[in-house]
Structures are given as structure tokens and as C-alpha cells.
Amino acid sequence: MTGIDFDFLFRLDDLLRSSRRTARPRLVPLAAALALLFCLIRATAEAQALGELKGMVQDPTGSGVPNARLKLQNRSTSEESAAAADGTGQFEFTGLPLGHYILKVKAQGFEEAEVPVSVHADPGRPIQVRLEVAEDATQVDVTARLHSAPSAQDNLDAIPIDRGWLQNLPVKERDPLAVASLFTDPATARIGGPKIIVDGVESDGLDLPVSAIKTININQNPYSAEWARPGKGRLEVTTRKGSSRHYGGLLMYTLDNWRLDARDAFAPSRPPKQHGVWEGQLDGPAWKNVKFFIAGQYFVHQNSYAVTAQTPDALIMTNYGAPVRRTNLLGRLDFRPSPTTKFIFRYKFRDVSQRNQGVRGFNLPERAFDIFKREHQLYLSYLSTLSPAFLNELRLKVVHNSDEDYSRTDEPAIVVPGAFSGGGAQASLRLRENGGELADVATYIRGNHTMRFGAGLRPRIFSTYDAANFGGTFKFSSLASFTEGLPEVFTINQGNPQVYYHRQEFYSFFQDEVRLGSNLSVLMGLRYELQSNISHYNNFAPRLAFAYAPGGRRTVLRGGAGIFYNRQPPEMQEQTLLHDGRHLREVVISHAGFPSP
């Protein structure tokens, strides 16, 4: 624009100078007309080169954030414009030169956000800037969405359990599931319990230090097509991230001693039980644009169980110790190389040692067996804001699990109902699992539509060695038959206890929330799931939900329906392979000899 304007003025100046020597009286009106025309063209061009930017600042739930402070920086000239959101989170910038900008948003109790935006000549649709709650926030100001349609994805009876609940409630053994499981559907106990989702990825358990958990949400968006379970059948867990401003730490110890407990009625004395939990955390900025969070938990359970058994020689009443040790570690790095991209690296370690298990009641100490479990998990998330209306997240999880059970002795088991159980526990298990998950999920907002779609793949490889009851089990009908050495039956497993198998689980989904006017929104979705070990492919799961606010909007009617599939657990495939007639066989001998059948 500057070069063209200068060239035009130069030519006009030449024309005026030449006119003085030729036909000056006739060209003066012409020059004035040309100058007036130039001013009109320039004013029109400048008016056309300006645009505006409108939008709304929202909290993680979609509610408006009032009084947020905004700065708009031009990428080319670095010029800045400032504005503030109103009481409902709405903001507006006017008179902006066309081009590309960086929008910076600050609000009390929220993390600062930077979003790339573009200003065009034609007014675009309002943008939405969603803020994350700051880790060290003590106060957050939000406003109710009185002037927007109720969202079908929101659920007012959703139960958020934040860090304050988890830290202050007297939870047994510092187990976060002890509180969260109280609010899930009891029917999930028949299908392995609620599905646990940690940072958007399914997990087999919640083996995390309590201080590493930011929130646990139950019954949030019950009919979402993104998940395989309904709202009360899953726990959505978000882990904490470090602070970008200061360093912080925590160290605590919880003790429960046996001297404060009552005596077991079947024990001769109070057993020396003791529960101790060490837990600590450290977080803060690592270097530029990187923050870290580290948390650890060490649990020691000096448990003891009462043994009350009648053997041919004597009545046994004693306490037997069964110590449990558990270590949980979590480390997380958050790296934001630019305002539009973010990386999350997370590593989780779990180690469990349970000794002298199974000794209680009629089971004698010789029936003890040990359990050892270990897990390594690596998680990577790449979050990209392609535009204010399009957000994409790529997630990757890699897992290695091991589970081992060993009997203290390999002697044949002896079972005398109502009297005692002795011999070896006949437990011998070695399980290895290598697997993970790769998923990509995107959110796109266009007009009154909020669309979310994605797909994921879970490959899993298993190696199982299950030599249970390879030493055999004698079962007697009574203590008298044991004294006479007359077992009722003898059972023993033989064959090859080693199996290898793998499976792939695939899923995809699409859902769209449509706001129909100011008092109605409808969520429509479809999910598809597939397991490689099952030859059934018609696994389409439609979902539908609505939210309607009639009259004065003080009442919101919500409803929904959907089809949900439960995946076949790996144990079913494992047992099918072990008992296929080629690997394991069970030998049953009635009235066998004793001690040699």
C-alpha cells in the first residue's frame, strides 16, 4: 500500500508541475478532483483493511470466565491491543488490521493461555478460549451460563473428587479407589469393577500416589460415544502437573498401630499389626517452557491373620504374619514449545510384594504362598491447537506387566473340610504382558455444532505359565478319614502349562452436540469396537442425550440412552487355550492311596 501511494503522489506532483508550464488554468480543477478521488480511495481501502475479533473465555466445563484480561499481539508488527471479558466471559476487539495474531488470556485461578488467531475482512464466528485451572489456585471465579443453551454433555449430578477430598478424608491404606468406588454403579462389580481412565487412556488400576491425582470424575457426560462404559461405570482420572512459577514439595507419614485395635475373637492375643504409608512429592519449573512433577508412595502393611484349625494332634489357634509392601512412583514433564503445541511425558512404576498369603481360618501356615507384581508404564501426549475451533490430541501408552505367584512348598495339598487345610498351596503362576494404546482424538467447533471424533488401537501380547495343582490335592471327607489315610478323591493337573497369545482391540467414535436455540441441545454419537479374538463385527453402539431448559431456565430436563458393549477379559482367552485338550489335562482318582495315589 505504501509503495503504490507514493508512486501515485509522485505522478500527481509531476502532473501539477508540468501543468504550470502548459495549461495551468484548465488543470487546476482536474488536479483537485484527482486529489479528492485519491483521498476517498485511500479511506475506503483503510476501512476495508480493518477487522474485528469476538469470542468467549471459558473454564474447563464450558462456563464463562468473567473479567478475564486479554492481550492481542500482531505477529508482524508486535503491536498489542488490550481488552477485558465482561461478566459472562464475552470479549471483543475492533478496528484490527488484517493478519495473524497471538491472543493471550489471563484470569484469576487459571493457567495463562496463548492461542493463535487470524483476523479477516469478513467477520468470522466467535472463538472459544478454554482455560485450565491452575495447580495452585485457591480461588476460581466463574459465571453460570444463563444466556447459553444447556449442554447435553454436562451432568449436574456428576461427582468430582478433587485433591482436597483425597488428602483430607480418612481413606484406608491411602487408596484413592476407596472413596471413588462408593459413587459408581454397584452392577460394575460383576464385570470387573469400573473402567479406570487416566489422562484419557484406559488403565487396569489406579496404582498412583494420592498426591499425584488432581481430580477423579464420576458420571461425567454419561452417554459420551468416546468411552465404552456409561457415566457411573467409569472413573476419569486426571494427574497433576507441576507449577511453572515456583517449587513445591510435600512429605507425610501415616501410621496405624495394632495397640489401638481390638482383639480378634478367634485369636489368643492382639496380633502385631501395623500400617505405615510414606508419601512425598516435588514439583516446579525445570527449564524454559518445561515443568516437572514427581510423586512417590511406599506402603508397608504388617498384617496378621488368625488361624483356627483342628488337626489330629491338637487344636491350633495362632496369629500368622502376612506382610505387604507396595511402591508407587509417578513422574511427569509438561513441555510447551509454542503457544499452539504441548507435550506431556509421564512414567509410572508399581511394585507389590505380598508374602504369606492364604494363611487364615482353616489354612495352616504351610499353605502360604507369595505374590509379586511389577508394572512399568510410559505415556506420551501431543496436544495441538490447529485453530481456535480445532483441537487435536495424540496419545501413546506403552506398558509392561509381570505377575508371579509361588507356593512356599511343593508338597501335595491336603483338604479336610471343617478341620484344616495343609500341604502346599499348589500356586505357580508367571504372567507377562506387553502392550499399549495409540489413540488420536479431535474436537472441532463450527457454529452451533461441537464435534468430537477419534480412533484408537490397543495391541496386547501375553505369556502365561500356570502350573497350578501340578503337585496334586488330596480331599478327605472328614478328620477321621484323614486319620485312616482314606482320601475321597485325588486331583492333579498335568501337561504343558505355557501358552502365548495376543489380541488387538480397536475402537472409533464420532459425536456431535447441536445447540438448537437457547434452551435445547442434543448430543448424537456412534461408537464401534472390535476384538481380534472374537469373530463378531456388528459392534455398533449408538448414543443419544439431550438437555432442555423450559420457561425461565431454572429447571433443566436431561435424558439419554445408549448401547454399551463389555469387552471379553484376557483371562477367558487364557483359560480357553490352557484347557484346549492339548496343554493341560486334569486327572481325577477316586479313593486313591495316601500319601502316594
**pLDDT tens digits for range 287-297:** 888 999 999 99
Q: What is the pLDDT of residues 351-360, one digit of tens each?
A: 999 999 999 9
What CATH topology corresponds to 50-130?
Answer: Immunoglobulin-like (2.60.40)
Query: Is the pLDDT confidence value at 299 over 60?
Result: yes
| Residue with cell string 501511494 | 5
Neighbours of 297 (CB within 10 A): 23
User: In this predicted model, which residue has the larger pLDDT, 597 or 532?
Assistant: 532
Contacts of 76 by beta carbon, 8 Å cutoff, 6+ apart? 99, 100
**Mean pLDDT to the nearest integer, 117-146:** 64
What was the pLDDT predicted at 583? 92
What was the pLDDT predicted at 6? 33
What was the pLDDT predicted at 192? 82
What was the pLDDT predicted at 456? 96
What three-state secondary structure class fits 12?
helix
**Angle at alpha carbon of residue 344, lines to 338 and 349, rounded to 5°:** 160
Domain range summary for the chain, segments of one domain joined by +: 2-48, 50-130, 236-590
In one letter, which amino acid is 185?
D
Q: Which of 168, 212, 167 is nearest to 379 (CA)?
A: 212
Same fold, 50-130 and 236-590: no
> Strands 113-119, 99-106: parallel, antiparallel or unpaired by DSSP?
antiparallel
User: Residue 88, Cα to own-chain centre: how many angstroms?
Assistant: 30
User: In this predicted model, which residue has the larger pLDDT, 57 or 44?
Assistant: 57
Q: What is the pLDDT of residues 176-226, one digit of tens each?
A: 888 888 888 888 888 888 999 999 999 988 889 999 999 999 998 999 999
User: In this predicted model, which residue has the larger pLDDT, 518 or 397?
Assistant: 397
User: For residue 588, what is its C-alpha cell?
Assistant: 481325577
**Mean pLDDT to the nearest integer, 91-105:** 89
pLDDT band at 141 (very low <50, low <70, confident <90, very high): very low
Q: What is the pLDDT of residues 387-441, one digit of tens each?
A: 878 899 999 999 999 999 999 998 999 999 999 999 999 999 999 999 999 999 9
Task: Answer whether 356's CB lies under 8 Å from 366's CB.
Answer: no
pLDDT band at 544 (very low <50, low <70, confident <90, very high): very high
CA atoms of 387 and 394, how far apart (whole Å): 16
- Residue 447's Cβ-count burial label (10 Å; 0-12, 13-18, 19+) is exposed
Q: What is the pLDDT of residues 108-117, one digit of tens each?
A: 878 788 888 8
**Angle at alpha carbon of residue 48, lines to 47 and 51, rounded to 5°:** 90
Query: Is the pLDDT confidence value at 480 over 70?
Result: yes
| Residue with cell string 480493518 | 50
Share of the chain above pLDDT 90, in %: 49
- Residue 252's Cβ-count burial label (10 Å; 0-12, 13-18, 19+) is middle
Please report the beta strands in 288-426, taking only residues with DSSP state E, as ranges in sequence order. Answer: 290-310, 315-338, 341-357, 369-387, 390-407, 413-416, 420-422
The dotted CATH code for 236-590 is: 2.40.170.20
